[in-house]
């Protein structure tokens, strides 16, 4: 970098070379620096891509795992009868309700399928089940909706990156 920044005439005099040879030398050095910077940026991008793939794989494995278990919980809730009336029963499992009550940001703790269940739930039934006022239940549903949208956008971005990388045969 220092050799590139030195005035051409000074460097030519010091090396006892013509200014055209010094210019070629400085241009070559600049190209080497540019290539190194591109390689560094490519490595960073590749690392980010690999991290995103790991996150996507973990999200997809969690979704696959949660698809088998919640069906059982839903069947238990659906087949049970309640004497307190339909408005106080929710399709949410006790585990989801506990997470909603206990966690400061429950939308970050729930998997995507559970977030969808919270969104589909009637606000009034949710507020009764959690013993919260309706505004707090609505705020929770909005937060769940935002988190689910964010996750969907991340998955779409990852798919886009994956399809883009599949089109390229070699990586730098």
Of 41-55, 65-79, 115-129, minimum mean pLDDT range: 65-79
Q: Do residues 121 and 59 share a domain?
A: no
pLDDT band at 25 (very low <50, low <70, confident <90, very high): very high
Q: Do residues 51 and 102 share a domain?
A: no
Residue 72: pLDDT over 70: no
pLDDT for position 168: 61
Residues 6+ positions from 15 with CB-CB distance below 8 Å = 22
pLDDT band at 74 (very low <50, low <70, confident <90, very high): very low
Q: Would you say 144 and 117 are in contact if contact means Cβ atoms under 8 Å apart?
A: no
Compute the distance between CA of residue 4 and CA of residue 72 in angstroms, rounded to an integer. Answer: 69
Tokens of 58: 């973990």
Mean pLDDT throughout 30-48?
Answer: 92
Q: 79 in a domain, yes or no?
A: no
pLDDT for position 40: 92
Q: 172 in a domain, yes or no?
A: no
Q: Would you say 120 and 146 are in contact if contact means Cβ atoms under 8 Å apart?
A: no
How much of the chain exceeds pLDDT 70, in percent?
81
Look up the pTM and report it: 0.44
Q: Do residues 104 and 160 share a domain?
A: yes
Q: 142 in a domain, yes or no?
A: yes
Of 44, 65, 86, which marks where a domain is finished? 65
Q: Would you say 78 and 117 are in contact if contact means Cβ atoms under 8 Å apart?
A: no
Give the angle subtended at the CA of 71 by the CAs of 65 and 76, to the nearest 5°.
135
Q: 88 in a domain, yes or no?
A: no
Compute the distance between CA of residue 128 and CA of residue 130 in angstroms, rounded to an integer. Answer: 5
Q: Do residues 117 and 163 share a domain?
A: yes
Q: Would you say 124 and 134 are in contact if contact means Cβ atoms under 8 Å apart?
A: yes
Enclosing domain of residue 12: 8-65
Q: Which residue has the higher pLDDT, 79 or 171?
A: 171
Of 65, 82, 112, which marks where a domain is finished? 65
**CATH code of the domain covering residue 119:** 1.10.1490.10
pLDDT for position 106: 80
């Amino acid at each position: 970098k220092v050799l590139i920044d030195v005035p051409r005439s000074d460097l030519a005099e010091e090396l006892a070379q013509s200014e055209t040879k010094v210019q070629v030398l400085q241009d070559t050095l600049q190209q080497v620096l540019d290539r190194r910077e591109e390689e560094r940026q490519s490595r960073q991008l590749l690392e980010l891509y690999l991290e995103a793939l790991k996150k996507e794989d973990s999200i997809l494995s969690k979704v696959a795992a949660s698809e088998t278990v919640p069906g059982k919980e839903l069947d238990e809730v659906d087949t049970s009868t309640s004497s307190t009336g339909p408005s106080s029963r929710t399709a949410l499992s006790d585990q989801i309700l506990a997470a909603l009550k206990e966690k400061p940001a429950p939308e970050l703790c729930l998997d995507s399928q559970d977030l969808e269940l919270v969104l589909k739930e009637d606000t009034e039934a949710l507020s009764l089940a959690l013993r919260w006022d309706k505004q707090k239940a609505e705020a929770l549903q909005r937060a769940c909706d935002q988190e689910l949208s964010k996750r969907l956008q991340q998955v779409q971005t990852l798919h886009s990156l994956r399809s883009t990388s599949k089109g390229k045969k070699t990586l730098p």
